[in-house]
Copies of this chain bind each other. A is one copy, B any other.
């Protein structure tokens, strides 16, 4: 690997001049620049990003901490972040935290040691004082952390109301909600949306909440248990994976979807189009959320002002077979 000194020697100039050509700053004579570029080409010179990072304290690298890439909600988010970062010449270090604060903390430490320029994280588990101490630009994604920190989230509350109302409009009166883990803010917001909409529909005293943890298997079992005890004709699942679990449970009990029980999920992941019947869902603009978080982080890194600190993107009701009953809707 050729170094800047090799290039300088070959072009008959000093390293400072080569560096100026490289960074397009300072004065460089046209003819000199030509010679330098020629030398670079001949030596196939590529600047060493590590040396550059050491001096500039910036590495053109960002960290992305997600709970688990294996959870089908995240690949698209990750992809979006990677795409945008790539455009601006940043690379992305991927970290899976399994929702464990301790792992998140460790990753932050490692990322800082590598001089990452910023971090996007999907968590709501940190105290703002701790984040402050990290002293690295961050953007939180999918889950609001604290008003101090820029965030990109979807409108969970409104989405939950939409879903609940949709079930009502399709004829459901005994609407159950499968709730996500209660340490996750967006799950709580969706729950709140369900509660408020139920009250607004005059079904406040007919609420039925099933505890889930955003996972298919656990949701399936919880729904099986609930079906044995309670009567219901509609299920609003806190995410799509749990909606699939509910679908399986309902079918396994010999009931028909949507005729006996209508089901709607949340997130809008591709999976929802693959089941039979296809699942209705409240779709979040996943790619757009990731892309926006990336753009905001870059703005922060480059010291540009943010127009807004908190972005809340709209969600959209997607009606498919799992809630399409008897000509209704």
A274 contact set on B, CB distance < 8 A: 216, 244, 248, 271, 274-275
Q: Which residue of B lies closest to A110 (CB)?
A: B91
The residue in chain B whose Cβ has the minimal distance to the Cβ of A106 is: B86
Q: Are B46 and A113 in contact (CB-based, < 8 A)?
A: yes
A70-B79, A76-B70 as given contacts; A48 in contact with B113, CB under 8 Å: yes
Q: Which residues of B contact A48 (CB under 8 A)?
A: 54, 113, 115
**B residues less than 8 Å from A92 (CB atoms):** 93-94
Are A82 and B54 within 8 A (Cβ)?
no
8 A Cβ contacts from A61-115 to B:
61, 68-70, 72, 74-76, 78-79, 82-83, 91-96, 109-115
Given A75-B70, A79-B69; A61-B95 close (CB under 8 Å):
no
Q: Which residues of B contact A59 (CB under 8 A)?
A: 50, 114
Q: What are 8 pairs between A and B in contact, CB < 8 Å?
A: A46-B113, A50-B114, A50-B115, A69-B75, A70-B75, A83-B96, A248-B274, A274-B274
Q: Are the CB atoms of B96 and A49 closer together than 8 Å?
A: no
Which chain B residue lies CB-closest to A48? B113
Q: Are B61 and A69 in contact (CB under 8 A)?
A: no
A residues contacting B by CB (< 8 A) are: 46-51, 53-54, 59, 61, 68-70, 72, 74-76, 78-79, 82-83, 91-96, 109-115, 216, 244, 247-248, 251, 270-271, 274-276
Given contacts A72-B72, A79-B96, contact A54 B50 (CB under 8 A): yes
Contacts of A69 in B (CB 8 A): 69, 75, 78-79, 82
- When chains A and B are docked, how far (Å) is the Cα of A276 from the Cα of B263? 15
CA distance A69 to B53 in the complex (A): 28
What is the bound-complex CA distance between A244 and B115, given in angstroms? 44
A113 touches B79 (CB 8 A): no
Whole-angstrom CA separation of A247 from B277 in the bound complex: 12
A49 to B50 alpha-carbon distance, docked (Å):
10
Of A50, A113, A247, chain B has the most CB atoms within 10 Å of the CB of: A50
A46-B112, A82-B95, A91-B114 as given contacts; A251 in contact with B271, CB under 8 Å: no
User: Known contacts being A53-B50, A54-B51, A70-B75, is A96 close to B113, with CB within 8 Å?
Assistant: no
